[in-house]
Amino acid sequence: MKIIDRYMVRGFLSPFVWCLFIFTIMAIIIDIFSFIEDIVKFKIPASSLAAFYIYYSPTIILQVTPMAVLLSTIFILSNLNKNNEITAMKSSGISLWRVMSPLVILGLIISIASFIVSDRVIPISSKVSNMIRRDELEKEKRKNNPQKVIENVAVYGAGNRIVFARLYDTEKKLLTDVIVHEHDISENLVSKITAQSGVWTGDSWKFYKVIMWKIDNTGKILSEPTFYAEKIIPLKERPRDFAYKEWHSEYMSYAELKNYIKNFRGASTKFVRGLTVDLHQKISFSVISLVIILIGAPFALITTRGGVMIGVGMSIAIGLLYYACLAISIAFGKAGILPPIASAWLGNMVFAIIGIYLINKRM
């Protein structure tokens, strides 16, 4: 590694680590203060709070990483530019892309690491943190303000079953537009059940207008479907499970979510479309760290006065604009205005193109 590469890597990593630490602590403090009244009112123990934030911290770190990358990029490049080191390098025949190459490589490494954390760590930590939040931090609040109707409930049930319902009425204990997929130990779909509705009888679930299919491991229907006007289906899940244990995309790895979407083809279009956007976003969000270096660099290079404080202000403005564009794009995808893959990648593509254009303009 050449001297310039070591210089750039050290200059980036030091503020990056500090920013990551500070942003994570700030996010935890802000989150605590968002429900400090409940902590005092319901006497939530410190041990529960500590356990929750230990498991929630990987999610926070993943969310603040792009901002830490942006601030570190602007910090090092603005300082180089302020001290005329960029000009000196260019005068020596070193191109701007060559100067930035260590940052681009670091951005790629951070993006890969972000995907690994998102795919392997977050699904596990999210399950535990959400369970702690639900069962310990928000237990009393849920008792006082129960949610009456829940849309698009999906639960991984016992016996390798996935149960989906378009609506669940917590007061009537009524499921509407139900789909049940049963898998073997190899995760192959072996049966599918649909029902217009299902109601809790006190010790079991009774479903109405039921259709049942048997399916082989290639996905082919083995015989004609069986129809029932009403039928007791032996689900082990009780009403509380549908009210509090619905399955979310963050609980799954990329491969699990992809298979999950495949299993629910034919369910609520809105539900499947939202999950498909989440699937593509699992990769696109990880790439933000690389893209944000490209968009942050040209703005850092025009900072000649004001030093670090201007860099901080610019990083915040760029980050907010970037996240706003991403949020709008994702919303358009889940609303059906944009195709799922386009909504997940549009913000990254637009900002990457703008960043490369502006960097080339500074050459």
Can you give 89-156 as a three-state secondary structure string? HHHCCCCHHHHHHHHHHHHHHHHHHHHHHHHHHHHHHHHHHHHHHHHHHCHHHHHHCCCCEEEEEEEE
With 90 as the cut, is the pLDDT of residue 271 above it? Answer: no
Using CB atoms within 10 Å of the CB of residue 30, give its burial: 0 to 12 exposed, 13 to 18 middle, 19+ buried.
exposed
pLDDT digits (tens, 9 = 90+) for 41-74: 888 889 999 999 999 999 999 999 999 999 899 8
Tokens matching residue 191: 């049966």
d(CA 131, CA 141): 15
Q: Which residues pair with 150 in a beta bridge?
A: 168
What pTM was estimated for this model as a whole?
0.81
pLDDT for the residue 308: 57
Q: What is residue 267's predicted lDDT score, i.e. its pLDDT?
A: 58
Q: Where are the domains of the chain?
A: 3-139+280-361, 159-236
Strands lying side by side in the sheet with 161-169: 149-157, 161-169, 174-183, 189-200, 205-214, 226-233
CA 242, distance to chain mean position in Å, is 22
Of 166, 28, 11, the C-alpha closest to 103 is 11
Backbone angles phi, psi at 236, to 5 degrees: -85, -15
Read off the pLDDT band of 34 (50, 70, 90).
confident
How many DSSP H helices and E strands does the chain contain? 13, 6
Whether the Cβ atoms of residue 259 and residue 187 lie closer than 8 Å to each other: yes
Q: How far apart are CA 130 and CA 137, in angstroms?
A: 10
Lowest mean pLDDT, pick from 15-29, 65-79, 102-116, 256-270: 256-270
Report the percentage of the chain scoring pLDDT > 90: 47
- 81 — pLDDT class (breaks 50, 70, 90): confident
Percent of the chain with pLDDT over 70: 91
Smallest CA-to-CA distance from 292 within 26, 19, 1 is with: 19
CATH 3.40.640.10 fits 159-236, yes or no: no
CB 131 within 8 A of CB 51: no
Residue 184 vs residue 283, higher pLDDT: 283
**Is pLDDT at 306 greater than 60 in this prediction?**
no
